[in-house]
Structure 1
């Protein structure tokens, strides 16, 4: 599965608006100017969605399908309305779910033995644990990090042929909730990418 998702969809008219509420007129394939959104142009179909509120962030896990197969789009909406997203093939999402279990176990041991983050004694690069996943032409970097605001899992996605890096940051306290939501979607749709 090479290019799973399209570029940024317009925030206007989408469920990812600043208020966090879905559009009042329901799902539309057109933005406020009447132009077709990127998803409609590529024949994307949304099969399911889950929304999680973790601290001040909202996360949307959308199972989508296009001519290349099924995938999950994970969108992070910050308190200020900024939006970041990564795309995961269903098989990659299953691997990511397994890594989430490992990272949350590691995080639980950190809390148990070292307590909360100490701003005076942070790791030099902030990294506590790292893993990498590869799927076709995409690389995913998973870094459990610590900074003055706390611990979080940074998930970065790059396309090996170049292109921008996209990333989301999941607060460490929400990793289990995130894993459980992902598990529910994978149980419903399986791990076969199709396409």
Structure 2
């Protein structure tokens, strides 16, 4: 039987998009989105967003199922790096497994398990098998009680997921420390049916400005290194000056 999309999320409650008691430790107000990756794995979409607030950087992983149900996890950068390494281990283990056996699956469905501990958070990684195939379930517990957040990654997509996570970690690093310099707050403006977002971020190559254009469901962005801001401003100013002196009717 070939692997198909995991049905685990139908057996476990989906995490809600509303904030949980522990979300303020990573997410929260005044967040800046530094980068994003979108993955299409079977009938699911996964969004990997690098975000930054006054406490530092973190990665938000969101899963959107075929029925539109959403769930998400928040990972500190160091936890994301550990998760990336475990994805390699789970992928290797998965590649050594034989075909699925829907008639005699493991008693609890688990084929391999690991735990990531970060401060007062725990992430449970379980490679599981059920009648619909094999998948990696990642569950996150939060402090002070509350529902458990979880996502389910189809086993065939673990390598693709790992590679996208690796790209983000290579660009933004695995350091959980707070940023040394407070960055300017994000700005936005609407022009007719478009929205433009101006987000200042930083990575190991320095500070940069990301300008995003959003129209309907389409989004594109450019990144301008801090050392080029002055020149970029001068060019825009030159265009503005020329436009303001242009004779009417031309």
Deviation by residue 1:9-59 (Cα, 9 ceiling, x = unmatched): xxxxxxxxxxxxxxxxxxxxxxxxxxxxxxxxx000000000000000000
CA distance in 1, matches of 2:104, 2:27: 40
CA distance in 2, matches of 1:73, 1:63: 7
Structure 1: 5+ residue stretches without partners: 7-41
CA distance in 1, matches of 2:80, 2:173: 10
Does the aligned pair in 2 maintain the 1:64–1:73 contact within 8 Å?
yes
Deviation by residue 1:162-192 (Cα, 9 ceiling, x = unmatched): 2220000000000000000000000000000
**Residue from 135, 152, 155 that aligns with 1:152:** 135
Matches within 5 A, 1:24-39: none
Match in the other structure for 2:53? 66
Deviation by residue 1:73-123 (Cα, 9 ceiling, x = unmatched): 00000011000000000000000000000000000000xxx22x1110100
CA distance in 1, matches of 2:109, 2:133: 10
Runs of 4+ with deviation above 3 angstroms: none
**Residue from 29, 39, 46 that aligns with 1:52:** 39
Match in the other structure for 1:98? 85
- SS for the counterpart of 1:176 is helix
Structure 2: 5+ residue stretches without partners: 1-22, 179-250
CA distance in 2, matches of 1:67, 1:137: 19
TM normalised by structure 2 equals 0.61
CA distance in 1, matches of 2:31, 2:43: 29
User: Over alpha carbons, which structure has the higher Rg?
Assistant: 2
For residue 2 of structure 1, report the CA deviation from its aligned partner. 6.9
Does the aligned pair in 2 maintain the 1:139–1:160 contact within 8 Å?
no
User: Against the structure 1 CA distance between its residues 145 and 168, is the aligned structure 2 distance closer, same or farther, given a 3 Å change threshold?
Assistant: same
| Residue-pair matches, total | 156
Match in the other structure for 1:21? none
